[in-house]
């Protein structure tokens, strides 16, 4: 429903602002793109589905819940990168981990890794749409990010704790 | 149909993963894999054909020279910052952001700026913050998370700028 409205609006805008030739060109591009994306998307969906069937969630929760300190940052990065699915899966997982005693640092690291390194999303979207060279460079530039976020979060926590201590 | 490396990698991955699942969990595991795939497919099929169509119209709508001027190949650091913020404002999931990144590419954005755009979408994620993070994790956690993430897309864009001198797209 929402999509048909969005499609209609953009199509009308395109017609109004750029003329019928632009609409025709957009449709031609669309058919081209679809023929490239569809066979890759099918493979990506199969990979995602089989990984979901293969990896037990309880194991993931257990490993990350116990992780702390520098080791926790590495575990959080790895598990974050391996966590499939969107925010509807990631945030409930983060909440469970917090209740199980995971530190803010490892949760931030986990979320950053899930968002930037999530290989599920790379397989499903980035590789089919943007190609292997771009995906590789984008991935490499994101490898330091969860560690940077985790380290900064450690510094933040330390700073806040020190100020609290100084005040009391 | 265009055959290239990404096509081979993806379908090779499918074959290996199916074999591994069968080896570890037998036919029940394979059946579960197909069931999970079907669940994902039902969701994606309602999104992808439309998102791609919208993205195609976007390509025609976007004033190419303007985009190129703002986040084109030669805009350097400023372009990376602008692209990071623009990515963070994309109000949706990967089904919109990656087609959008593709259309930015086609309208003349620089590759390093597109990297910053994707990272900005990943970590600023304005929409995700409103819908998921604040309701579930609270304001304080969200502030710390966003605060420590502020420079991340810019860092990735700068790193990409350096790497793209060696990798030609």
Q: What's the rounded Cα separation, in Å, for the pair B110 and B116?
A: 10
First to last CA, chain B: 20
pTM as predicted: 0.71
Q: Does B119 touch chain A (CB under 8 A)?
A: yes
Contacts of B147 in chain A (CB under 8 A): 156
| CA B90 and chain centroid, separation | 11
What pLDDT sits at residue B1? 44
* Strand-pair partners of A15: none
Q: Does B15 touch chain A (CB under 8 A)?
A: no
Q: What's the rounded Cα separation, in Å, for the pair B124 and B132?
A: 13
CA of A20 to nearest chain B CA: how many angstroms apart? 11
Cβ(B94)–Cβ(B127) below 8 Å: no
- Top residue of B24, B106, B122, B154 to mutate, by most chain A CBs within 10 Å, is B122
CA atoms within 13 Å, Cβ hemisphere of A167: 6
CA of A104 to nearest chain B CA: how many angstroms apart? 8
Low-confidence ranges of chain A (pLDDT < 50): 65-67
What pLDDT sits at residue A129? 87
What pLDDT sits at residue B16? 93
What pLDDT sits at residue B129? 84
Position with higher pLDDT, B125 vs B167: B125
What pLDDT sits at residue B91? 67
Digit-coded pLDDT (tens) for B3-26: 566 678 778 889 999 999 999 999
- Top residue of A86, A138, A147, A159 to mutate, by most chain B CBs within 10 Å, is A138
Q: Does B10 touch chain A (CB under 8 A)?
A: yes
Cβ(B113)–Cβ(B83) below 8 Å: yes
The confidence band for B93, taking pLDDT boundaries of 50, 70 and 90, is: confident
* Nearest-CB residue to A45 (from B40, B60, B122): B40
Contacts of A56 in chain B (CB under 8 A): none
* Nearest-CB residue to B98 (from A51, A129, A145): A129
CA of A80 to nearest chain B CA: how many angstroms apart? 13
Average pLDDT over residues B75-83: 91
The confidence band for B63, taking pLDDT boundaries of 50, 70 and 90, is: low
| Residue B138, pLDDT above cutoff 50 | yes
What pLDDT sits at residue B29? 93
Average pLDDT over residues B61-71: 71
The ipTM value here is 0.70
Position with higher pLDDT, A33 vs B146: B146
Contacts of B25 in chain A (CB under 8 A): 53-54
CA of B83 to nearest chain A CA: how many angstroms apart? 14
Nearest-Å Rg of the Cα atoms of chain B is: 19
* Strand-pair partners of B109: B72
Position with higher pLDDT, B80 vs A106: B80
Residue of B nearest to A99 (CA): B137
| Residue B84, pLDDT above cutoff 60 | yes
Q: Is B109 helix (H, G, I), strand (E, B) or coil?
A: strand
Q: How many CB atoms lie within 10 A of CB A140?
A: 15
Digit-coded pLDDT (tens) for A50-74: 877 876 656 555 565 444 556 778 8
């Amino acid at each position: 429903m929402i999509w048909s409205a969005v499609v209609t609006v953009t199509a009308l805008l395109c017609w109004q602002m750029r003329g019928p030739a632009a609409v025709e060109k957009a449709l031609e591009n669309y058919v081209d793109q679809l023929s490239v994306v569809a066979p890759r998307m099918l493979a990506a969906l199969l990979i995602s589905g089989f990984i979901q069937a293969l990896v037990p969630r309880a194991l993931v929760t257990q490993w990350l819940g116990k992780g702390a300190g520098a080791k926790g940052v590495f575990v959080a990065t790895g598990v974050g990168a391996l966590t499939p699915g969107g925010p509807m899966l990631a945030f409930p997982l983060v909440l469970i981990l917090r209740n199980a005693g995971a530190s803010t640092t490892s949760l931030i690291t986990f979320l950053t890794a899930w968002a930037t390194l999530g290989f599920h999303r790379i397989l499903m979207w980035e590789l089919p749409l943007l190609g292997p060279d771009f995906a590789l460079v984008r991935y490499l530039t994101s490898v330091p990010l969860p560690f940077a976020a985790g380290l900064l979060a450690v510094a933040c926590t330390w700073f806040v704790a020190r100020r609290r201590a100084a005040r009391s | 149909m265009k055959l290239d490396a990404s096509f081979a990698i993806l379908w090779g991955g499918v074959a290996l993963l199916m074999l591994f699942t069968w080896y570890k969990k037998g036919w029940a595991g394979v059946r579960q894999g197909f069931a999970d795939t079907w669940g994902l497919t039902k969701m994606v099929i309602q999104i992808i054909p439309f998102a791609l169509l919208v993205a195609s119209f976007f390509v025609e709508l976007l004033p190419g020279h303007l985009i190129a001027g703002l986040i084109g190949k030669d805009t350097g650091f400023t372009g990376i910052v602008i692209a990071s913020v623009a990515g963070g404002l994309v109000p949706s999931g990967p089904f919109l952001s990656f087609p959008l990144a593709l259309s930015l590419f086609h309208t003349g954005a620089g590759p390093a700026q597109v990297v910053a755009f994707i990272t900005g979408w990943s970590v600023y994620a304005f929409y995700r913050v409103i819908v998921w993070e604040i309701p579930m994790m609270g304001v304080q956690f969200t502030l710390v998370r966003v605060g420590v993430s502020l420079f991340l897309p810019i860092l990735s864009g700068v790193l990409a700028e350096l790497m793209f001198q060696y990798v030609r797209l």
